[in-house]
Each structure stands twice: as structure tokens, then as C-alpha cells.
Amino acid sequence: MAVSKKRNKSNAVKVPRSATKPQSDNPKWLVPTFSTLLLVGLVWILVYYISRGTYPFAIGNVNIFIGFAMLLAAMGLLTRWK
């Protein structure tokens, strides 16, 4: 892709702004997905502890594993963030 360069009166090269704008390598879904997983995982664990084991589901300590699985999935997505 050739960038057209224009010279102004001071003989300096003027590069269009669109050519200097850095492109993000991140997919658009990445940040909302890992943010949601972090928040939902944290809230899941907090609700489990505050409700003394009856919410979000009455499955005992499996709720802790579900919350940590969401947190780990979010951390795994964070490794793709550039």
C-alpha cells in the first residue's frame, strides 16, 4: 500500500494521519469477555460466601470451583491481550 506524501512550503514530508494510526491486534470481543468473566466469577464466589452456601446453586463447594473456573478463563483470555 503506497502512502502518498505531500510536500509543504518548508519542504518537509507530510504523512496523512490515517497512515500513522496504529492498528490494534485485539479482537473486539476480547476485552468485554474477560471483563465479564472476571466480574461474574468474583460475584459468584462472593454471593456463595455471603449466602452461606445456598445461592447461586445449592451444590455446596462446587460453587467455588465454578467461580474460580470463570476467573481462570478470564486470565487465560488476558494472555491474548496485546
* 23: in domain: no
Please give the Cα distance from 48 to 7 (Å, whole number). 66
Domain that holds residue 75: 41-82
Contact at 8 Å (CB) between 35 and 75?
Answer: no
- pTM comes to 0.64
Q: Phi/psi class of residue 60: alpha, beta or left (left: φ > 0; alpha: ψ in -120 to 50)? A: left
* 59: in domain: yes
Domain tally for the chain? 1
Q: Give tens-digit pLDDT for 9-51.
A: 667 777 666 655 567 788 899 999 999 999 999 999 999 989 8
Local structure of 7: helix, strand or coil: strand
* 76: in domain: yes
Q: Give tens-digit pLDDT for 49-66.
A: 898 877 777 788 888 999
| Alpha-carbon distances, residue 33 vs 25, 81, 82 (angstroms) | 16, 12, 15
* 54: in domain: yes
